[in-house]
Amino acid sequence: MHPNVPAGLYRYIGPHGFVRVVDTMGDDRAIVRAARVTAQTTKQISSDRGLLRYLLRHHHGTPFEMCEICLHVRVPMDIWRQWIRHRTASVNEVSSRYGALTPEFASTDPEEWRTAAGRLRPGGTPGLFKQDAGKIFSIAERELWDNAEDAYRELLAAGVAPEMARKVLPLGTYTEAYWKIDLRNLLHFLELRLAPGAQAEIREYAEAIAKIVQEWVPLTWEAFKDYRLDAVTLTGPELRALRAGDWVCLSPGECKELDDKLEKINATQEILRTPTDS
């Protein structure tokens, strides 16, 4: 267990969700030690920090598999459905088949309801509904959940098997799991789930996990931030379009993505774009 990541510390996400470290194995030094065994190039880099940065920059992933973390997480089912798509973790989830759940729901405050418009633009801020509309949605959500909870309890009270009764519970119900993953795959998870295009609710969990990673392996985190999170990667067609000063070869989707990248580079579009692509 690493001293910087105390086991048992709950990081709450909303009133009912959390992420808690159960255990860790390895740290920055374990990655460096493993890398130094493998190749002459890595031995020539004398500082641990320099070596870690070299490994990350050049996508040498296996040394990062020397570190593992086990998290205890409590997540609404709709978010868990996205989370569980990351296949490289080991998972043990609470059973709602052999025992009854105490259903708790991820409720939405009236000012939190997002509109569909703007949702798909990476980094775009989707609009929010006015509070009056939001209040109506939140009340409807609450009513649905109260009904679902009543139905669930009634089915159980009538002797229905929990594995069938659970069908009436909505996607906003929480599940709990132990989730163990190595650092290489955790960084991949974070890269996808911290991205502006990720759903805000899973991003909140990713942000909580990112803080844990930062405390656990600070040098790796620094390199990951520099070479992945804050990096801008250009595709072949994007590079060709920029060199030619003509974006006609790019699809509308690609043009939008390139726009976003240029914004990230902080270059004004006027400098890099030509009049042909308006």
Which residue numbers are catalytic? 193
- Minimum CB separation of residue 142 from ligand FAD in Å reads 28
- Minimum CB separation of residue 102 from ligand FAD in Å reads 30
Q: Could you list the residues that contact ligand FAD (CB under 6 A)?
A: 85-88, 185, 188-189, 192, 197-198
Based on CB atoms, which residue is closest to ligand FAD, 87 or 243? 87
Which amino acid does the sequence have at 262?
L
Based on CB atoms, which residue is closest to ligand FAD, 233 or 278? 233
- Minimum CB separation of residue 215 from ligand FAD in Å reads 22
Based on CB atoms, which residue is closest to ligand FAD, 170 or 197? 197
Could you write out the DSSP letters of every residue in 101-166? ----B----GGGPBPSTTTTSTT----B--HHHHHHHHHHHHHHHHHHHHHHHHHHHTT--HHHHG
Q: Which two tokens stand for residue 45?
A: 């880099």
Based on CB atoms, which residue is closest to ligand FAD, 54 or 83? 83
Element (DSSP H or E) covering residue 214: helix 200-216
Strand partners for 173: 105
143: buried, middle or exposed (CB in 10 Å: 19+, 13-18, 0-12)?
exposed
CA separation for the pair 241, 11 (Å, rounded):
45
DSSP secondary structure letter of residue 62: G
CA separation for the pair 75, 82 (Å, rounded):
11
- Minimum CB separation of residue 196 from ligand FAD in Å reads 9
